[in-house]
C-alpha cells in the first residue's frame, strides 16, 4: 500500500501496487494517476473531501466526496465489527472456502419405510445448523401414534434438510433417547452414505448384531417419544 509521500513522487504507477489516498488535500499533483485495486484512475472534479478515501465511477470522474476512513475495514489487520458483514463468495481459509452457514427449522416425519410407506402421527420438531459441509441436527418426536403403520417395519425419520454425502462405508452416528419403548440394549440414530432419512438402531453387547428399532418396539400407541442429536456431512 502506498503513502501520500510515495504518491507525490510517483511518475508511473506499478500495476502490482494498491494505492489508497486517505487525505486528498495532501496530494500535490491532482492529475496523478492512482491505482485503486488494479485499475489506474485519475483525479477530476469535484475534489473529494479531505480526510476521506476517494472512489471513482470511471477513470476520469470522481463518484462523490469519498468514503470515511472509519467505514473501511483493513482485513490485513485485526478487526472488530459491530455491524453485519456479507461475503457473497464465502470466506477462504488458505485453500478451504467456507461458503455455507445457516441455522433454521426443518420438518421431520416418521414413516415405516425409506420411501413411500405409511406415516405415523407425531408431534415433531427439527432444527439444524449447517457450517460448510457439516450439518448438526436436533430432533424431538413426541406423542407417537402407531395407528396406520406396519408394526414389523423399521422406524424411519424423513425430512433431512440435506441428504448425507455419498462416501463408501460412511455412517453418521448420533446419541438418542427414547421413552415408552420395549427392547434390549440401547438406541443410536444413524444416517447411511447417500441417505436422506434417519434410522434408529438397537445396539447390544456380546455377539449380538445391531438391528433397526421397529414400530412394534413402541410400548405405547400414543405417548412414546424419540429425541436425538446427530452430526453428518453433506456434499
For 145-186, what is each residue's pLDDT tens digit?
Answer: 999 999 999 999 999 999 999 999 899 999 999 999 998 889
Whether the upstream peptide bond of residue 183 has omega within 30° of 0, thus cis, is no
Residue pLDDT, tens place only, 9-48: 544 444 333 344 444 444 444 444 444 433 344 444 455 5
- Helices of type H across the chain: 4-8
pLDDT at 205 exceeding the cut of 70: yes
Instruction: Report the alpha-carbon angle 129-132-134, nearest 5.
Output: 55
Residue 15's pLDDT is: 39
Amino acid at each position: 500500500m502506498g503513502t501520500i509521500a510515495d504518491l507525490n513522487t510517483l511518475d508511473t504507477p506499478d500495476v502490482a501496487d494498491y494505492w489508497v489516498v486517505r487525505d486528498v488535500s495532501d496530494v500535490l499533483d491532482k492529475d496523478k494517476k492512482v491505482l485503486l485495486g488494479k485499475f489506474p484512475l485519475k483525479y477530476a472534479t469535484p475534489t473529494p473531501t479531505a480526510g476521506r478515501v476517494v472512489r471513482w465511477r470511471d477513470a476520469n470522474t470522481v463518484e462523490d466526496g469519498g468514503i470515511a476512513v472509519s467505514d473501511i475495514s483493513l482485513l490485513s489487520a485485526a478487526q472488530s465489527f459491530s455491524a453485519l458483514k456479507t461475503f457473497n463468495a464465502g470466506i477462504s481459509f488458505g485453500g478451504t472456502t467456507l461458503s455455507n452457514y445457516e441455522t433454521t427449522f426443518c420438518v421431520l416425519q416418521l414413516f415405516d419405510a425409506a420411501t413411500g410407506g405409511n406415516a405415523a402421527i407425531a408431534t415433531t420438531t427439527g432444527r439444524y445448523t449447517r457450517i460448510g459441509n457439516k450439518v448438526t441436527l436436533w430432533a424431538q418426536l413426541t406423542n407417537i401414534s402407531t395407528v396406520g403403520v406396519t408394526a414389523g417395519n423399521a422406524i424411519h425419520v424423513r425430512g433431512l434438510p440435506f441428504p448425507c454425502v455419498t462416501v463408501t462405508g460412511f455412517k453418521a452416528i448420533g446419541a438418542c433417547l427414547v421413552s415408552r419403548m420395549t427392547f434390549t440394549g440401547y438406541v443410536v440414530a444413524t444416517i447411511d452414505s447417500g441417505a436422506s432419512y434417519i434410522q434408529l438402531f438397537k445396539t447390544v453387547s456380546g455377539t449380538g448384531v445391531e438391528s433397526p428399532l421397529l414400530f412394534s418396539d413402541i410400548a405405547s400407541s400414543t405417548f412414546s417419544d424419540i429425541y436425538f442429536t446427530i452430526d453428518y456431512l453433506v456434499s
